[in-house]
Amino acid sequence: MEHKQSVLAINFSAPELGHLAAEFARRGQLLGYVMRYANQHRAWEQFLERVPAAGALYWSTLGRRRIPDGLSARDLAEAGVASDFLACLVARLGVLGRYASILSVRLHQRTIAAIARRGAGLAQRASLLIAGSGTALPAFRSARAHGARRVLNYPSAHHRFQQRFFAAAAERQPEFAGLSEGPSQISSADERDLDEECDLAELILTGSQFARDSFVTQGYSSTKVRAIPYGVDLQRFTPGPARRATRRFRITYVGRISSRKGIGYLLQAYQRFRKPDTDLDLVGNIVGDARCLRPYAGLFTHTPHLPQSKLPEVYRATDVFVFPSLLEGLGLVVLEAMACGCPVIVSTNGPCDVVRDGVDGIVIPAENAQALEAALERVYRDRELLAALASAARAGAEAHSWAHYASSASQAVLELASHAAARRD
């Protein structure tokens, strides 16, 4: 017997959850989608857009945030709007100096807490809950009480695995330890909450086999954790004109400039590889202490965070995209670069799930500057190989559309629900 589900999705910022919610909306099974602020062109938003100074600030920040494709305003339940706006203003205006990042983190935490509370308030009406890590716990507790199924979206490796991993990584490369982010800052209380979320979940969705394996090493059943690679917007990210061989050879990284992303290994590799006709471009905000980068001043150009709408031209202007992350759920920027016809060099710890080594990119061991240097030498000297990788990159990305992700993830979720229904019948 087929049981129609009433699905509630709860999300802070993970794009994959928006696409999954849209799939259930398409099926007529979505109860609601709890999220932070989105521009819905309401009267007050239209007024704000017309205010000269405020309108420009709004359009360059939160005004760009839209309802996920496939969802409508009636599907949404916004939460934490005030703290979301304040966090954006603090980050954008930068008037608080070094205290800005601390305040931004606290405001984001308030937004996440508000989303979690709103989700818990709606949970009793749902037969199936899908929630992002950090927002799931109150709703999962409520769902367990009335028998609803519980799915946790976990976009990275397990938090306790991450703590041990990054502690060891900092010892191996202490000169870059100041460019730190993430798990080391998780409090014991937050860690216990994440533990309970994972324990209450009946299914955990991750974006890569590496992330899935991190849960298995923590004692979770391999049948409880599913690795489903994320997707890419194939309409926004498209190839451009072929690059002329006479141009300088451009190597690009996009993402947070942090030790977690392997920036130290990239700089060390490029320092040894550097040629008179090559450039290294780093695009993204610097995390932590920028003084760690001083020994490499002049080695690279740096562009702060760019909106997603600006990234296609960045990818199209590069010869090879490098993403040597130490630990990753997947790394959406990898698929974005590939969709623009750009070959990639990625590490084994997450991104390699969507890259065919030697076909549309090169896969190297994580934390290995020598392997990265060798990969750069290989594509620099063998332009026929580089052209072949570029030709195959778009086709590789096309196998990972957001529609494909939503179909695969929804099937995994519905299998959980159908097995539960079969047990009741």
Q: Is residue 2 over pLDDT 50?
A: no
What is the mean predicted confidence (pLDDT) over 218-224? 95
What does each C-alpha distance from 250 to 211, 240, 266, 316 come to in angstroms?
Answer: 30, 15, 14, 11
Give the residue among 262, 382, 399, 383 at the shortest CA–CA distance from 325: 262
> What tokens appear for 137 in the block?
């716990």
**Distance from C-alpha of 13 to C-alpha of 22, rounded to nearest angstrom:** 15
Say which residue, 35 or 352, is predicted with more confidence.
Answer: 35
Mean pLDDT of 400-418: 93
Cβ count within 10 A of residue 296: 17
Mean of per-residue pLDDT scores for the chain = 91
Q: Which two tokens stand for residue 401?
A: 């559309």
Residue 422 has pLDDT above 60, yes or no: no
Residues 4-14 have pLDDT tens digits of 789 999 999 99
Give the C-alpha distances (Å, rounded to integers) separating 221 from 40, 199, 202: 41, 11, 11
Neighbours of 200 (CB within 10 A): 17
Q: Which helix (H) or strand (E) holds 10?
A: strand 7-10
Identify the CA nearest to 92 among candidates 288, 305, 287.
Answer: 305
Could you count the other beta carbons within 10 Å of the beta carbon of residue 69?
Answer: 11
Distance CA(285)–CA(279), nearest Å, equals 19
Decide: helix, strand or coil at residue 240.
coil
What are residue 132's DSSP bridge partners?
Answer: 153
Residue range 68-77: mean pLDDT, rounded: 94
Phi, psi of 148 (to 5 degrees): -75, 150
* Among 107, 109, 127, 132, residue whose Cα is nearest residue 34: 132
Helix (H) or strand (E) holding 301: strand 301-303
Residue 304 class from Cβ within 10 Å (0-12 exposed, 13-18 middle, 19+ buried)? exposed
Q: Do residues 206 and 215 make contact, with C-beta atoms less than 8 angstroms apart?
A: yes
Note whether 7-231+402-424 and 249-398 share their fold.
yes
Question: 214: which 2 tokens?
Answer: 């991190």
- pLDDT tops 60 at residue 262: yes
Q: Compute the average pLDDT of residues 40-53.
A: 90
**Hunting for tokens 């259930």 — which residue is that?**
24
- Report the percentage of the chain scoring pLDDT > 70: 93
Predicted local confidence at residue 367, as pLDDT: 94
Query: In this model, does residue 82 exceed pLDDT 70?
Result: yes
How confident is the model over 97-120, as a mean pLDDT? 86
Pick from 100-109, 121-130, 415-424 the range whose average pLDDT is largest. Answer: 121-130
Per-residue exposure over 326-337, b if at least 16 CB sit within 10 Å of its own CB, e if not = bbbbbbbbbbbb
Q: Each residue of 309-357: pLDDT tens digit?
A: 899 999 999 999 999 999 998 999 999 999 999 999 999 998 889 999 9
**Given pLDDT bands bounded at 50, 70 and 90, which one contains residue 289?**
confident
Q: Domain map of the chain by residue range?
A: 7-231+402-424, 249-398
pLDDT for the residue 181: 64
Which residue(s) pair with 349 in the sheet?
none
Residue 282 has pLDDT above 90, yes or no: yes
Question: Tell me, what's the pLDDT at 95?
Answer: 56
* Range name among 14-28, 240-254, 363-377, 397-411 with the lowest pLDDT average: 240-254
Provide the pLDDT for residue 183: 44
Side chain identity at residue 396, one-letter code: G
Classify residue 329 by its DSSP letter: S
Burial 29-56 (b: 16+ CB within 10 A, else e): bbbbbbbbbbbeeeeeeeebeeeeeeee
Is the pLDDT at 191 greater than 60, yes or no? yes
CATH superfamily entry for domain 7-231+402-424? Glycogen Phosphorylase B; (3.40.50.2000)
211 in Cβ contact with 231 (< 8 Å): no
Contacts of 279 (CB under 8 A, 6+ apart): 248, 249, 250, 251, 300, 301
pLDDT band at 242 (very low <50, low <70, confident <90, very high): confident
Can you name the residues that pair with 70 across neighbouring β-strands? none
Half-sphere CA count of 5, side-chain side, radius 13 A: 31
- Residue 3 has what pLDDT? 58
Of the chain, the percentage scoring pLDDT greater than 90 comes to 74
| CA proximity to 122, closest of 142, 137, 108 | 142
Output the pLDDT for position 53.
Answer: 82
Task: pLDDT band for 94, please (50, 70, 90 cuts).
Answer: low
Euclidean distance between CA atoms 4 and 83, whole angstroms: 36
CATH class of 249-398: alpha beta
31-49: average pLDDT: 94
| CA pair distance 29, 4, nearest whole angstrom | 7
Range in 54-63, 94-103, 119-128, 327-336 the model is least confident about:
94-103
